[in-house]
Amino acid sequence: MISLPKISGLRDHALAILISVSLAGLLLPPATALAHHSNAMFDKSQPRQVTATIREFQWTNPHIWIQVLIENGDGEQEEWSIEGGGPNSLFRKGWRPNSFKPGDVVEFKLFPMHDGSHAALFVGAKFSNGETLGNW
């Protein structure tokens, strides 16, 4: 059995507080683990389906990004940024770092931004061979 020296009075109380605060700090998750941005900027009431040409696929943390070219109503190409989930969870769902290749033409389901900017939240993708990713 280990015997600790007895500290009396105010120092004993201060030591108890210090130990309690230290233990509480170890038991609480770090703030960065809890931090995450909202997806409230996406209009989930207006899903869109578009055909797009892949410009770039960014397999990065904390979220993947798919840069695509989408033809607008005037026949002009607009670059859009489509945000997806994290690589780790997507890998477990069958995604790979080469799931989208530059030049591929893919049909997407997505939730556009409320403000009309050229960005969206990924919902699903359908490739020319009929394979799908996400919620098609």
Q: Where in 1-136 does DSSP place strands (E)?
A: 48-58, 65-71, 77-83, 105-112, 119-126, 132-134
**Structural domain harbouring 106:** 48-134
Report pLDDT for 17: 72
60 within domain boundaries: yes
CATH of the domain at 124: 2.40.50.140
Q: Number of folded domains in the chain?
A: 1
| Owner of token pair 């309690």 | 20
Give pLDDT tens digits along the chain (136 positions). Answer: 665 555 556 677 666 676 766 665 555 555 444 455 678 899 999 999 999 999 999 999 999 999 999 999 999 999 999 999 999 999 999 999 999 999 999 999 999 999 999 999 999 999 999 999 999 9
